[in-house]
Amino acid sequence: MGEITAIAVAITLAGSAIATAWAEKVVGAAAVGAMAENEKLFGKGIVFMVLPETIVLFGFAMAFLLLQKV
């Protein structure tokens, strides 16, 4: 039972990390493009760059909850 839980934790963390990286790539490219045209959008660009980080935080929380089952 412990091995299956460890695999589930690994898949959860890997999936959330990959999703976060993909979201950061898309949002980062759009934010840099917007800031190149209008420097006043810097603050909004930073906020939108931080939002995808919640995906990996939720993945970490789920992995922690799964580890409690061991």
The CATH number assigned to the domain holding 22 equals 1.20.20
For residue range 19-57, list pLDDT tens digits in order.
999 999 999 999 999 999 999 999 998 999 898 888 889
pLDDT of residue 65: 86
Three-state DSSP at 51 gives coil
Widest distance between CA atoms in the chain: 55
pLDDT for residue 70 is more than 70: no
What pLDDT does residue 22 have? 95
Note the pLDDT of residue 33: 93
Q: Could you list the residue range(s) of the whole structural domain that residue 42 is in?
A: 2-67
Q: Please give the tally of structural domains in the chain.
A: 1
- Mean pLDDT (the chain, rounded): 88
